[in-house]
Chain A
Amino acid sequence: MKVLVTVKEVAEADDDFAIEGTDIAASDLEYDLNEWDDYAVEAAVQLAEAGVADEVVTVTIGPERADETVRMALAKGADRAVRVWDDAFEVGFADVAAKVSTFEAVVEAEEPDLVLGGVQAADTGFGATGVALAERIGFEHAAVVNDLEVDADAGIAHVRRELEGGVEELTDVDLPAVLTVQTGLNEPRYASLRGIRQAQRKEIDAKDLADLGLTPGDVESALEITSMYEPESESDAEIIEGDAGEAAGRLAEVLRDKGVGA
């Protein structure tokens, strides 16, 4: 069985940041593997270790810089990686359909039995790519999966979906399927030194749209970010100033007034 994992390099804003145009200044962003995708990578690698999966391939839409993040997934045990980038992605904000078109082409080339990805990306928070991809490629799907058991012989993934308020739904999903995973599904490993060394030798196959038989028109976005700003705080929070000791002293007064510690 082949598992394809969609991984994203996500950006996090520094405590102090400036907005330039319709994005945060690149110098105020730090990049990392999307938290939710980390659990997807771990799930796939565990399937390989259990002998259920023969190969784990990651796919990323991202510029060359993203290789660093991709290497992290490779160091954790993925076998190889595909990274797609094209000038067409530079011009705007790729919507769900644009990403799905890209992943669809990769799925056609790789023919996985199972696609795993995080339920959402920490930076844009759309939470939609996996399920939309399933619809496009005719796979079954389940979203917000926090428990996964694959019965490869029967061709079924037994999953739990985590609903609101501590309720879980038990679902059987026929393979091939796309599952979007929730944190807590497993315990993502740290990359070992050995893994990091091995990752240097693993293949990152960089492709552009033409390599996938796509044109810029295929990834045209219906969405355009027209402004970005720091939200006006409607908060009337009283910020307690002073060094740690002073602030703690003042907070203690407030808390005592509320009857805390009495």
Chain B
Amino acid sequence: MSDVLVVSEHRRGELRDVSYEAITAGRELADARDGDLHVAVIGGDVDGFAEDLNREGVDAIHAVENGEEFDHNVYQTAIAALLDRTDAGTVVTPNSVNGLDYVPAVAEDRGLPLVTDAIGFEYDDGLTVTREMYGSKVETTVDVDGDRHVLTVRGGEWAPAEGVGDAPVESVEVDLPESGARVTGFEEVGGGDVDIADADVLVSVGRGIEEEENLELVEELADALGATLSASRPIVDNGWLPKNRQVGQSGKVVTPDVYIAVGISGAVQHVAGMKGSDTIVAINTDPNAPIFDIADYGIVGDLFEVVPELIDEFA
């Protein structure tokens, strides 16, 4: 029961980076428990994926050939089968959108405690997980009962596993029950006029702007700076700006020279889209806003006072 099973993730023919990060986390836990590290790859080009996933520290790879893309029914069934076949006590997966769609079901099905969105953990007699609460304003440590668990790990918190391993690859067949949820296709959304990913300077606006009318103020700032306007999710959800302006996990990943976050808290899903910016500037009234943790320059202040002054500077 001290073995660990890491479930990898891929989309449209490519493994996602979080898969390699989950391997690192899984190896860490397996080491602490003196166990083996199993990696599962489910669906798609399993042979090719298995080769890529065969990194240092991996003890066994289980390839479940079934369908091209993610299907929660297949994942659930395959993981249940792997838990039966192996001695794995802990399942470690990326904390991703698809993770949200199958991991809780796996934990429930197996009666295992679930801790999501881990940013760290320690194992010493038992598992203690570090995670955030209250919009990343605080961290908590959480003790987990028992020696079997399911853990999802936040992207970007563990280094991707490297090196070349020599784990045996075993192909696994699972019997699929009839599924009442059928994936019928995929669609790319959010094209449009401007590609914020091309911009050198972004002025990005968040919920701190309060009203649609106030957007004019940040538009003016963007004009004055010769910058492109982008936004956090709530602005787009409100229909104030089109989807192609959204920065983040479900929006665009941007890497401008300068990113100016105006009234944006810095939720993890937003940060996922802009942390690679060269210089990050944050203007926010809340000194505890997590955006300041990744900013290079910060002004703790009211955007309605600071932004007009800044426009004046460049007028």
Contact = CB atoms under 8 A, between A and B. Distances in A.
B255 interface: no
Interface string B95-110: 0111011111101110
B299 A247 contact: yes
Contact of A251 (B143, B186, B250, B310): B310
Contact of A225 (B101, B105, B142, B257): B142
A26 interface: no
A160 B239 CA distance: 18
A62 to B, nearest CB: 17
Given A96-B114, A140-B181, A244-B306, A231 B253 contact: no
Given A124-B133, A127-B116, A261-B224, 14 more contacts: A93-B142, A95-B114, A126-B116, A127-B117, A128-B100, A141-B72, A164-B249, A172-B182, A187-B238, A227-B141, A235-B292, A239-B300, A240-B298, A251-B281
B101 A142 contact: yes
Contact of A245 (B11, B137, B183, B309): B309
B154 to A, nearest CB: 10
Contact of A244 (B146, B236, B286, B301): B301
A203 interface: no
A258 B257 contact: yes
Q: Give the top 3 A-B pairs by smallest Cβ distance, nearest first.
A: A248-B309, A222-B113, A174-B180
Interface of B: 11-12, 69-70, 72, 96-98, 100-105, 107-109, 111, 113-117, 128, 131-146, 180-190, 201, 224-227, 233-234, 236-239, 243, 249-253, 257-258, 279, 281-282, 285-288, 292-302, 305-307, 309-310, 312-314
A244 B288 contact: no
A258 to B, nearest CB: 5
Interface of A: 11-13, 15, 17, 19, 22, 24, 93, 95-97, 100, 119-120, 122-132, 134-136, 140-144, 160-174, 177, 180, 183-184, 187, 222-231, 233-240, 244-245, 247-249, 251-252, 254-255, 258-261
Given A170-B186, A225-B141, A249 B100 contact: no
A143 B114 contact: no
A169 B293 contact: no
B310 A248 contact: yes
A228 B138 contact: yes
15 contacts: A13-B134, A119-B100, A127-B104, A128-B104, A131-B101, A136-B108, A163-B97, A167-B187, A168-B186, A169-B69, A183-B234, A187-B238, A222-B145, A231-B136, A235-B292
